[in-house]
Structure 1
């Protein structure tokens, strides 16, 4: 099969992934109930909770979990993006291992599993500090505003619109990506943007479009797919 047909097949699988998830939680309306007397209302109104047993094409290890509806949609888009930029010899993800927060708006990622030549493969493992780990971190920064590296290497994301904020977490990732993926060993928190500019990365990564371009390019460099 040629590359264009392979890419088209992958896109069709990814676009249909969200439809394979389970239905909305029947009792989710309780999330909107008024708090008991004497309790202060939450600063952030609870959204619509849904139960899902998959993220995009991948089943959730451990079974269904409750998510905020919009957050699950962001996770679907993230995993589809990660897969679309992964090596062609990998299948679309078949399993994701992680935990959803109690409010359904955080997710801690531990592993992504794919198949290659009909054999199972752990494509991302939180405890494996390799280029794929950094690439996956880049993919999460592409889709979420707050990404934290937990003890042991697990990656925790919080719901929200993606984009450059200048947070310590984003700067730390950018410096590490410059050093480990782009070969800019002298880059630090004060001059990493200048180092990128020096190798022809034309768009300022501290802009919305520039951050999206930088994180996507870093994902592809980490997964060694930048040549196609």
Structure 2
């Protein structure tokens, strides 16, 4: 099987399972029954993100949950072939249902459970997972303890301080460019993209997509780009 079909089959499995994993929210809360105004955006309860079970059911805005499903499919499609699709995701959903702090992703290999990402270990896999989140969300903020918090919004390069800070760190931690700064990161990211076979400016929409994907694959050791 070629890499493209491998990625597509894993992504299809993940996205397709999202429907089956939904837990329907039914009924009316006591406050609503008493005449209180309902929330402006209804929340849905989910016990999984794609194939990966959550520690307990959580309430999300529906569009945000779909965006998380797409992100996890992307993360899984770019992992080494020996990894299963994710089986567990640990994290915390904000009360409004439009923000999620990621703490862990677990997969199976040789019938054993392994951490593909864990908040308390800031290693190459941590930076790779941060790259995957930057690929799908415009705001990705490290939290005390190493968790990664994302909020619901369309993906894309905005030039925000947190995106630039990530790019500088990714060049240093994943691409061996310790001299990268906020002023020079585009040059270093461009060299990384060239190693990955792309001719693009990372500070563009297409370039950011390519840079975050290549950083994910390098950090998880799916490809070395040497």
TM (norm. structure 2) is 0.87
Q: Which residue number corresponds to residue 99 of structure 1?
A: 92
Q: Which residue of 2 aligns with 1:152?
A: 145
Distance 1:220 1:23 in 2: 33
Q: Secondary structure at the match of 1:64?
A: strand
Deviations 1:98-149 (A, max 9, x none): 0100000000110001000111111110000110000000000000111100
Aligned equivalent of 2:118: 125
- Structure 1: give runs of 5+ residues left out of the alignment: 37-44
CA distance in 2, matches of 1:106, 1:211: 22
Residues 57-206 of structure 1: pairs in structure 2 closer than 5 A? 57-61=51-55, 63-198=56-191, 200=194, 202-206=199-203
Distance 2:178 2:114 in 1: 31
Pairwise CA RMSD of aligned residues? Answer: 2.3
Matched, 1:215 2:209: no
CA shift digits 1:36-56 (9 cap, x unpaired): 9xxxxxxxx832311100001
Give the number of equivalent residue pairs. Answer: 216
Instruction: List alignment gaps of at least 5 residues for structure 2.
Output: none
Q: For residues 86 and 65 of structure 1, what CA distance do their matches in structure 2 show?
A: 26
Moved over 4 A (4+): 2-9, 27-30, 33-36
Q: Deviations over 1:51-89 (max 9, x none)?
A: 10000110001x111000000000000001000000111
Deviation at 1:9, TM superposition (A): 4.4
For 1:8 and 1:78, the matched residues in 2 are separated by 14
* Distance (Å, rounded) in 1 between the aligned partners of 2:202 and 2:40: 33
CA shift in 2, pair 1:8/1:168, >3 Å? closer
Please, what TM-score do these two structures have when normalized by structure 1?
0.87
SS in structure 1 at match of 2:22: coil
